[in-house]
């Protein structure tokens, strides 16, 4: 078992592996090569199989919910504008969890998956929603395996892609196919990319250029939403408490954290617990890392295509990008003047932005939308209603 020291080192190693692997497609403008694990190379057949699995509603207890239900290709692979995702129906109404569905687009660049990083890879992540009671509601993965082993179309595909059939097909192959499909969904080449990496001075409006200046300087956004010399992931792959959600449980943190530890939950149980109980969900990364740093902390999202994936934050509580900037401007509280939680990340503080500067930042973030998503409704300034 390889010991991975630092997520960044791991990503670099995987990129190195990718360089030697088959795929010679250039990454989109503004993005580095997609990290591809050595044991799961991309092939067109595998990607097609992954797409089929991703969209298959039979992998739910009601036969109505697939990965694509919450990660809809028509909505930049989210279920915007839902606040928190809706899974299987019980008593005629869909069950909901506690978290907003993140986009699959560019998820391949994350070092860990889920808002709290509880999954180390796209492969691993894909298995969990199937067996979560408020998502796809299966008791275990056996129904999935039954289908992929017996359905003729699947059987043929698995044999072609993995050389396996019948009982030899395991969840590992299912996960690998889904992950391979997800790795094809990367998107750059936004107006910002053309401005910053191609030197096209006309790609951004003057307002967006002012917004970029704020993004790097007064707004301090670039501290976590990383932009580098030749590429921009817009995430540092780390976890930060920025005061969303935790403010609601501030006084209860000691009790909640203590209870959670005492319950000695396993990782599989964590997945169920945090989607099942909002107050536990607000513990954030702590549920996984069990250290102080994780209290109320969530993974930095990429900002690519952020304008077309409202609402925002792990709980979908901020409806527009403007609301988001106001939250940061207030120094980590949604309503100005509210008390700030004790575990707030050190980098979050009041920004003293003017109204015009807030608008400039919002305009800049609209420039991060890739061409293929440009026609989707924007949640930049007004709430997108269902």
Applying CB under 8 A, the residues found at the interface with another protein are 1, 3-7, 112, 120-121, 124, 216-218, 220, 222-223, 226-229, 232, 238, 253-254, 257-258, 261, 264-267, 270, 288-293, 342-347, 349
Please provide residue 78's backbone torsions phi and psi, each rounded to the nearest 5 degrees: -130, -175
Cβ neighbours of residue 125 closer than 8 Å, sequence gap 6 or more: 113, 114, 119
- 250: exposed, middle or buried (C-beta count within 10 Å: 0-12, 13-18, 19+)? middle
Q: Say what angle helices 355-366 and 206-216 make with each other, to 10 degrees.
A: 100
Residue among 101 and 214 whose Cβ is closer to another protein: 214
CB of 298 to another protein, least distance (A): 14
Select 91 or 199, whichever has its Cβ closest to another protein. Answer: 199
- To another protein, the closest distance from the beta carbon of 381 in angstroms equals 26
Smaller CB distance to another protein: residue 61 or 127? Answer: 127
Residue (79 or 282) nearer to another protein, CB: 282
The 8 Å CB, 24+ separation contacts for 255-262 are 256/280, 256/282, 256/283, 257/283, 257/286, 257/295, 260/286, 260/287, 261/290
Looking at beta carbons only, is 86 or 360 nearer to another protein?
Answer: 360
* Shortest distance in whole angstroms from residue 290 CB to another protein: 6
333-345: burial string, b at 16+ Cβ within 10 Å, e else:
bbeeeeebbebbb
| 41-74: burial string, b at 16+ Cβ within 10 Å, e else | ebeeebbbbbbbbbbbeebbbeeebbbbbbbbee
Q: Let me know how long the chain is.
A: 386
Q: Which is nearer to another protein, 160 or 217 (CB)?
A: 217
Pick between residue 11 and residue 47 the one whose CB is nearest to another protein. 11
Q: Which residues contact 27 (CB under 8 A, 6 or more apart)?
A: 33, 34, 186, 188
The two three-digit tokens of residue 63, written as one number: 């036969």
Judge contact between 280 and 340, C-beta under 8 A. Answer: no
Between 73 and 216, whose beta carbon lies closer to another protein? 216
The smaller minimum CB distance to another protein, of residues 347 and 371, is found at 347
Contact of 294 with 285, CB cutoff 8 Å = yes
Q: What are phi and psi of 219, to 5 degrees?
A: -80, -20
**Closest approach of Cβ 157 to another protein, in Å?**
27
Minimum Å gap between C-beta 235 and another protein is: 13
How far is it, in rounded angstroms, from Cα 211 to Cα 180?
35
Give the shortest CB-252-to-another protein separation in angstroms: 12
Task: Find the shortest distance in angstroms from Cβ 329 to another protein.
Answer: 14
Rounded least distance, CB 22 to another protein, Å:
25
181 or 234: CB nearest another protein:
234
Q: How far is the CB of 373 from another protein (least distance, A)?
A: 24
CB of 229 to another protein, least distance (A): 5
Give the C-alpha separation, 359 to 380, whole Å: 10
Per DSSP, the chain holds a count of helices (H) and strands (E) of 15, 4
């Amino acid at each position: 078992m390889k010991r991975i020291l630092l997520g960044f080192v791991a990503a670099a190693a995987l990129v190195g592996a990718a360089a030697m692997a088959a795929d010679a497609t250039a990454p989109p403008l503004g993005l580095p090569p997609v990290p591809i694990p050595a044991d799961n190379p991309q092939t067109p057949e595998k990607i097609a199989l992954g797409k089929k699995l991703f969209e298959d509603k039979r992998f739910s207890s009601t036969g109505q919910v697939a990965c694509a239900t919450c990660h809809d290709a028509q909505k930049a692979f989210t279920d915007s504008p839902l606040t928190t995702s809706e899974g299987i129906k019980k008593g005629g109404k869909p069950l909901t969890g506690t978290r907003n569905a993140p986009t699959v687009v560019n998820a391949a660049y994350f070092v860990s998956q889920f808002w709290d990083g509880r999954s180390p890879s796209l492969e691993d992540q894909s298995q969990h929603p199937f067996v979560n009671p408020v998502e796809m509601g299966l008791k275990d993965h056996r129904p999935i395996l039954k289908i992929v082993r017996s359905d003729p179309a699947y059987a043929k595909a698995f044999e072609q892609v993995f050389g396996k059939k019948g009982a030899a097909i395991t969840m590992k192959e299912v996960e690998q196919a889904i992950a391979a499909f997800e790795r094809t969904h990367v998107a750059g080449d936004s107006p910002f990319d053309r401005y910053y990496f191609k030197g096209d001075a006309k790609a951004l409006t003057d307002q967006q250029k002012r917004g970029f200046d704020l993004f790097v300087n007064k707004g301090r956004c670039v501290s976590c939403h990383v932009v580098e010399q030749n590429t921009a992931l817009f995430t540092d792959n780390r976890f930060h408490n920025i005061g969303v959600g935790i403010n609601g449980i501030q006084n209860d943190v000691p009790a909640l954290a203590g209870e959670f530890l005492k319950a000695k939950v396993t990782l599989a149980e964590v997945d169920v617990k945090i989607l099942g109980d909002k107050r536990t969900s607000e513990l954030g990364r702590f549920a996984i890392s069990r250290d102080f740093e994780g209290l109320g902390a969530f993974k930095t999202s990429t900002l690519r295509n952020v304008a077309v994936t409202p609402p925002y934050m792990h709980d979908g509580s901020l409806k527009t990008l403007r609301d988001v900037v106001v939250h940061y401007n207030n120094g980590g509280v949604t309503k100005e003047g509210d008390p700030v939680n004790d575990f707030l990340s050190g980098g979050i503080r009041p920004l003293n932005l003017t109204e015009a500067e807030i608008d400039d930042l919002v305009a800049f973030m609209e420039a991060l939308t890739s061409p293929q998503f440009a026609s989707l409704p924007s949640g930049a300034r007004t709430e997108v209603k269902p």
